[in-house]
Amino acid sequence: MNMMITNRDRLLLAARELFLEHGYDASVDAIIAHAGVARQTFYNHFRNKESLFAEVVRDCFLDVIAPLNEHPDELRQSLLIFAQAYRQRALSPAGVSSYRVLSGQAQRFPALVREAYTMGAGQIIERLASFLRMAMEEKKLLDADPVFAAEMLMAMVVGQERTHLLFGIQRKPEDEQRKMEYVVDGFLRMFAPQCGI
Amino acid sequence: MNMMITNRDRLLLAARELFLEHGYDASVDAIIAHAGVARQTFYNHFRNKESLFAEVVRDCFLDVIAPLNEHPDELRQSLLIFAQAYRQRALSPAGVSSYRVLSGQAQRFPALVREAYTMGAGQIIERLASFLRMAMEEKKLLDADPVFAAEMLMAMVVGQERTHLLFGIQRKPEDEQRKMEYVVDGFLRMFAPQCGI
DNA sequence: CATGGATTAGACTGAGCAGTCTACCCGAGA
DNA sequence: TCTCGGGTAGACTGCTCAGTCTAATCCATG
């Protein structure tokens, strides 16, 4: 009910931006400057830099939703929608940056990074896997480990492009839509129930 | 012909270990201590920390070889050998650590990281793609973009496990051999020439 | 008007860091 | 024996950073 933007919000927003851009190396000085707030104000709202980081990380992963089980009968269409949405999110600047930052801080903050993964990609895998399990039970897909199948699909959706973005490799623009159709059709052929090898 | 281990070698080895473990944050103090060498000796052999890092990175990516085109007729067997070798290398502690370190330093050293990628994963993709192109020309595989196909196979071989290792997520042990057979067989079904969708 | 909680600017501490510099040491070759 | 290149130890500079502290200011409530 309170629309006021507090200094706390300003700090969280600024920290989010700077952490995504510079990783945990973003200095407290830079964060308070970017938030337009005094040094002491920061320490009024947060115990220290570490707890601010933790809060930013937890905030980032609240809004991870996988658009699935919308068309439970049209398998190909459902997977296509999922693939495009997941790809868009995973390869977005924020997605790539948070991947970079979290993997970089996995040693310093093991529990936090595990938590972020569980809340983010972990959730998505689980949902996709249970969706695929349903399709397998309905004999629309070859019987297999649904988690394995989910991981294969997600791996193909992201492909080498996350690595390219992480490493700053230029890539010629592609037809995203078409590519995702290739991937989903390939996946369906891979797990097609009729073709039995 | 000279078997002597120089101080330079000691420094490179120590730096490699510490950079892989702590990233670029590994301090010069720690490196010279680990090499058992004086501070000035370091600056006798390297201009500064940055050039040492560059040399370590370049060293790391000299020995990336993809065991391919050994069985050009037995497609499945060739791919299986490749898959196991690539997986082993990519998911090794050194492989995962260098991925973490390089992606973390992509902003600071863009050219170096690009170079490392080109010499490493880039090479592997190219080799695999040209191998697949041959198989496509011989009609052993569905006609498709060989680079796309190579990236799909590599993505599946690594799957979610690189992410798990980067993020420090525990994983129950699996049957590697069997898993790679699944992946290669799935890949072959995906790009099977007969089954035309 | 008065009080008190939040905010501000900025000084300060203590630590770690990269890189420089000095002074000393050792061992091989002239 | 002398010299000199490469080695060692360690002090030192200059910087950045996280976190603390002080003193002044603002503002809403009583």
Taking the alpha carbons of A97, A170, B118, B132 in that order, is the dihedral positive or negative? positive
Asked whether B59 and B148 are in contact (CB, 8 A), the reply is no
pLDDT attached to residue A8: 93
What ranges in chain A are assigned the alpha helix state H? 7-22, 28-35, 39-45, 49-60, 75-91, 93-104, 110-117, 123-137, 146-158, 161-167, 176-190
B108 touches chain A (CB under 8 A): no
User: What's the rounded Cα separation, in Å, for the pair B19 and A193?
Assistant: 48
Identity at A159, one-letter amino acid code? G
Residues of chain A with pLDDT under 50: 1-2, 196-197
Provide the positions of strand D that have an atom within 7 A of a protein CB: 6-11, 16-23
pLDDT at A196: 46
Q: What kind of fold does domain A75-190 have according to CATH? A: Tetracycline Repressor; domain 2 (1.10.357)
**119-158 of chain B touching strand D, CB 7 A cut-off:** none
Over the stretch A99-124, which tens digit does the pLDDT of each residue have? 999 999 999 999 999 999 999 999 99
Q: Which is nearest to A22 in space by CA: A112, A108, A101?
A: A101
- Indicate the SS3 state at residue A15: helix
pLDDT at A71: 64
Residue B56 phi, psi (nearest 5): -60, -45
Averaged in consecutive runs of 10 residues, what is the pLDDT profile of chain B (197 residues)?
Answer: 75 96 97 95 96 94 66 85 94 96 97 95 94 94 96 98 97 94 97 69
Q: Same CATH topology for B7-60 and B75-190?
A: no
pLDDT in tens, A54-83: 999 998 876 666 677 666 679 999 999 999
Yes or no: say if A157 and B148 are a contact pair by the CB < 8 Å rule.
no
Nucleotide nearest to A50 (CA to C1'): D18
Residue-level pLDDT at B196 = 46
Q: Name the nucleotide nearest A49; use CA and C1'.
A: D18
A 10 A CB-CB count for A138 gives 12
* Nucleic strand D near CB of residue A41 (< 7 Å): no
Mean pLDDT (chain A) is 92
Q: What is the CA radius of gyration of chain A?
A: 20
**Length A40 CA → C3 C1' (Å):** 22
Residue with nearest Cα to nucleotide D9 C1': B38
Is the shortest CB-to-strand distance from A49 to strand D under 7 Å?
A: yes
pLDDT for residue B5: 80
Predicted pLDDT of residue B182: 97
Residue type, position A51, single letter: S
Footprint of strand C on the protein (CB under 7 A): A 6-7, 36-41, 44-45; B 27-30, 39-40, 43, 48-50
Contact A197 B185 (CB under 8 A): yes
Q: What is the pLDDT of residue B63?
A: 62
Q: Find chain A residues with C-beta within 8 A of B107's C-beta.
A: 168
Cβ separation of A168 and B114 shorter than 8 Å?
yes
A33 and B CB contact within 8 Å: no
Nearest Cα residue in chain B from A153: B156
Euclidean distance between CA atoms B145 and B133, whole angstroms: 8
- pLDDT at position A64 is 63
CB B105 within 8 A of CB B46: no
pLDDT of residue A1: 43
Percentages helix, strand, coil for chain A (3-state, rounded to 5) are: 70, 0, 30
Pair of tokens at residue A82? 């999922």
The answer to whether the CB atoms of B154 and A168 lie below 8 A apart is: no
Q: Do A168 and B113 touch (CB under 8 A)?
A: yes
Indicate yes or no: strand D within 7 A of the C-beta of A50.
yes
Measured between CA atoms, how close is B74 to chain A, in angstroms? 17
- Which CATH superfamily does the domain covering B7-60 fall into? Homeodomain-like (1.10.10.60)
- B169 phi, psi to nearest 5 deg: -90, 130
Determine, for residues B168 and A121 on separate chains, whether the beta-carbon distance falls below 8 Å. no
pLDDT given for residue B143 in this prediction:
95
Per-residue pLDDT at A193? 86
The gap between A32 CA and C10 C1' (Å) is 14
What are the residue boundaries of the structural domains of chain B, listed by start? 7-60, 75-190
Q: Are B56 and B14 in contact (CB under 8 A)?
A: no
Which pLDDT does position A60 carry in this prediction?
81
